[in-house]
A and B are shown apart, each in its own frame.
With several copies, the nearest count.
Chain A
Amino acid sequence: SNSGKKEAAESTSASTEESTKAGADKEGDKKIVLGMTLYSLKNEFTVRLANAATAKAEELGVELKIYDGNYDPSTQISQIETMISDGVDGIILNPQDAEALSVGVDKAVAAGIPVVGVNTRVQSDKLTSYVGSQDVYAGELETQFMVDLVGSKFNTVIIEGPLGQSAQIERRQGIQNVIDKNPEIKVLAEKTANWSRSEAMTIMENWLNAFDDIDAVIAENDEMALGAREAIKAKGLDIPVIGVDGITDALNAVESGEMVASIFQDGAGQGSKAVEVLVNAVNGQAVDKEYWIDFEPVTKDNVAEFKLRAQ
């Protein structure tokens, strides 16, 4: 449930010895306050990331305020401004857009607040650190997986994320990288389903009626892959579908063979690592520029392991 976040916001309990150590400021007993803005809190993946961050913050005895960017970069900039005037000690940024949020980083850094990027890239060299993955790699992984599965010559349809969002652009880029290497892959159609399962289902139904020769479906996230899978199942067909993120439903679908694979993104790992890195940075410890917690393919063979990690 979401009570985790609330508790974190009001968290007063300093539980373990370690946390008191880490959470206490050098000069006094003032508690470290961190802010985190996510591009959205309305999908399972970011919620998982946020919850892991909250849990970690609790463990370290720091306060973490979470902001929902509502898929709007300027809202996220506003939230960074709000955090600055609120006087947070550090900011975790999960940007909607890589270019737009660089100005947010500039502002925070100018106010002397360290910023740690998480999960999606931001175009800035002022980040204290970046914890996450590269979406281009996810696109490459899933397309390569299809090539390995059905051969280098096939007809595919691509279901895209919201046009212009960094994750969409980069994952699409990754998909294209593999297609360029395998010129016999033919893209029959591509369209955005805005990360939505029901939109993807409708689009897939329409494509199934329009084309007889779809060999593979590449979706830029799991929600849309699952929607496409529903449409294919309803038509009594069996076309391999792949997505990205490794959300619970997708892991189950991989397990039951409904999806050929998903590309797992360790949101929980990224969330907690980001908090850890930022707390260290606030406390003046040295941190690396980048921590890679990258995408990993999930197949029927290794799905059990990921189901455990996704808890």
Chain B
Amino acid sequence: MDTIRNVQKKINPKQMLSQYGTLFGLVAIVIIISIMKPRFLAIDNILNLLRQTSINGLLAIGMTYVVLTGGIDLSVGSIVGASGMFAALVAKSDYNLPWYVAVLVGFSVGLLLGTLNGVIVSYLKVPAFIATLGMLSIARGVTYMASDARPVPGLSEGFLKIGGGSIGAIPIPVVLLTIVLVICYISLYKHRYGRYVFATGGNAMAARVSGIKVKKIVCSVYMISGLLAGLAGVILTSRVTSGLAQSGQNYETDAIAAAVIGGNSLAGGRGRLWGTIVGFLIIGVMNNGLDMMAVSSYWQLVIKGSIIIIAVMLDSLNEAKS
């Protein structure tokens, strides 16, 4: 009998294109911008771009977990706001607390809100869209209350380093993003946990039958998303040197967009971390590049919208065939 069918996939240019469609898209965008504005490629601009992107990057990574399970987290923007605000309230230089206390507070707020999301989605069975939409509203309301909608400036030196400082030439937010990426890569691809996340999103019933605690997995991805949003909130607050009640507003859109551009299906079970990286880089490069070229803000809207669609189109056209 014919032994092993479909043995090794041969590398084939068409397949490459379909697998790495958005990556080619990213490269194309970079090339076009560099030609039109050579300074785009200057080291300091690249670092600058990466620093700007790191916040959306963190959110997009958290979103990737959520999306892999077939969920969505609309509350990340508000969690950024809440955790950043509470961190700021603690980081005021008058209190003389070490920087990490504020960071811990920010983390805890993110984790707490994420856990609430997770519990509401997995145990109370509220659809993720509604649960996190509710949380979007609640967390923002709490942030306003905590600050009476006023900025909280005067943060301690140590705390301000997180968003503004560098290690060598590399901005600290970029360092943090890299560390998070490595940990997430391991958890998704080298540890069982990742298998369970994929399995839960792919076929929750089958996962359950295989003995996976599906509810725990679902709950955990919102916790991860919340925690990373907490980190993003801390970085953002440090970067803008004050707690701002409205910060993070609408950040969820870019985070979800990055995950979806990267090829993570909102239906769950299908996705890839490197795709998310490509996704948030496309968004970051677009924002930075169009500003560098001083494109008018109305045209920016049209161009960004078109690029997102086109970048994904290649990918989709091919994928859909299989």
Contact = CB atoms under 8 A, between A and B. Distances in A.
Q: Do chains A and B touch in the complex (CB under 8 A)?
A: yes
Interface of A: 1-2, 5-6, 9, 41-44, 47, 65-68, 70-75, 77-79, 81-82, 85-87, 97-103, 123, 160, 162-166, 168-169, 188-192, 196-198, 201-203, 205-207, 209-210, 223, 226-227, 230, 234, 247-249, 252
A82 B291 contact: yes
Residue in B39, B147, B240 whose Cβ sees the most chain A Cβ within 10 Å: B240
Contact of B292 (A42, A86, A98): A86
A65 B240 contact: no
A188 B296 CA distance: 11
Contact of B244 (A100, A188, A206, A207): A100
Interface string B204-240: 0000000000000000000000000000000010011
B148 A47 contact: yes
B292 A210 contact: yes
Contacts of A166: 151
Interface of B: 37, 39, 42, 44-45, 48, 51-52, 55, 144-145, 147-151, 153, 164, 236, 239-242, 244-247, 249, 287-288, 291-294, 296-298, 300
Contacts of A9: 294, 296
B164 A47 contact: no
A134 to B, nearest CB: 17
B287 A78 contact: yes
A46 to B, nearest CB: 8
A125 to B, nearest CB: 14
Given A74-B55, A103-B240, A164 B45 contact: no
Contacts of B147: 164
Contact of B164 (A41, A202, A234): A234
Contact of B242 (A6, A79, A100): A100
B240 A230 contact: yes
A82 B244 contact: no
Contacts of A169: 149-151
Residue in A65, A78, A196 whose Cβ sees the most chain B Cβ within 10 Å: A78
Contact of A5 (B44, B293, B296): B296
Contact of B52 (A162, A165, A192, A205): A205
14 contacts: A44-B149, A66-B294, A68-B297, A72-B249, A77-B239, A78-B287, A97-B242, A99-B244, A100-B151, A100-B242, A102-B241, A163-B246, A206-B45, A248-B150
A205 B289 CA distance: 12
A232 to B, nearest CB: 13
B239 A41 contact: no
B136 to A, nearest CB: 14
Residue in B37, B45, B164 whose Cβ sees the most chain A Cβ within 10 Å: B45
B214 to A, nearest CB: 37
Residue in B51, B151, B249 whose Cβ sees the most chain A Cβ within 10 Å: B151
A209 B287 contact: no
Contact of B240 (A191, A197, A203, A252): A197
Main secondary structure of the interface of A (DSSP, over half): helix
A6 to B, nearest CB: 6
B246 A82 contact: no
A192 B144 CA distance: 12
A165 B246 contact: yes
A195 B201 CA distance: 39
Given A9-B296, A44-B150, A79-B291, A86 B244 contact: no
Contact of A103 (B48, B145, B164, B246): B164
A164 B48 contact: no
B48 A206 contact: yes
B240 A2 contact: no
Given A85-B44, A210-B39, A230-B240, A163 B287 contact: no
Contact of B149 (A77, A103, A164, A234): A164
Given A86-B39, A198-B247, A209 B239 contact: no
A100 B155 CA distance: 11
A188 B294 contact: yes
Residue in A41, A65, A74, A223 whose Cβ sees the most chain B Cβ within 10 Å: A74
B52 A78 contact: yes
B149 A47 contact: yes
Contacts of A72: 247, 249
B48 A198 contact: no
Given A74-B240, A189-B294, A209 B246 contact: no
B287 A162 contact: no
Contacts of A206: 45, 48, 52, 287-288, 291-292
B164 A82 contact: no
A81 B164 CA distance: 12
A58 B243 CA distance: 30
